[in-house]
Structure 1
Amino acid sequence: MRLRDRRSFTKPQVMIIPMIDIMFFLLVFFMISTLYMVNLKTVDVQLPQAVHAEGQAKVTYVVTMQKDGSLWLEDKPIERDVLIRQAADQQRQNPQFSVVIRADEGLDYGQVMALLDGLKGAGVRHFGLAAHE
Structure 2
Amino acid sequence: MRRDFRITKEPLVMIIPMIDIMLFLLVFFMVSTIYMVQTNTIQVALPQAAAANMETRPNIVPITVTDKGDVLYNKDTVPNEQIEAKVKESLAEDPDTVFVLRGDKKTDYGDVVGVLGILKQAGGRHVSIATETARGH
**Shorter chain as normaliser: what TM range?**
0.5 to 0.7
Whole-angstrom CA distance in 2 between matches of 1:80 and 1:99: 16
Indicate the residue corresponding to 1:10 in structure 2. none
Matching residue's letter, 1:72: L
Partner of 1:61: 61
Q: TM-score, normalization: structure 2?
A: 0.66
Separation of aligned partners in 1, 2:73 and 2:46: 16
Displacement, 1:94?
2.3
In the TM superposition, structure 1's runs of 4+ consecutive aligned residues that sit over 3 Å from their partners are: none
In structure 1, runs of 5+ residues without a counterpart are 1-19
Which residue identity does 2:63 align to in structure 1?
V
Q: Percent identity?
A: 24
> Structure 2 vs 1, CA of residues 89 and 74 (structure 1 numbering), >3 Å: closer, same or farther?
closer
The structure with the largest alpha-carbon Rg is: 1
Counterpart amino acid of residue 103 in structure 1: G
2:128 is paired with a residue whose SS is: strand
The one-letter code matched in structure 2 to 1:47 is: L
Calculate the TM-score normalised by the size of structure 1: 0.68
Whole-angstrom CA distance in 2 between matches of 1:119 and 1:74: 14
> Displacement of 1:83 after TM fit?
2.1
Distance in 1 of aligned mates of 2:82 and 2:72: 11
Residue 87 (structure 1) aligns with: 87
Kindly tell me the number of residue pairs found equivalent between the two proteins: 108
Unpaired segments of 5 or more residues in structure 2?
1-16
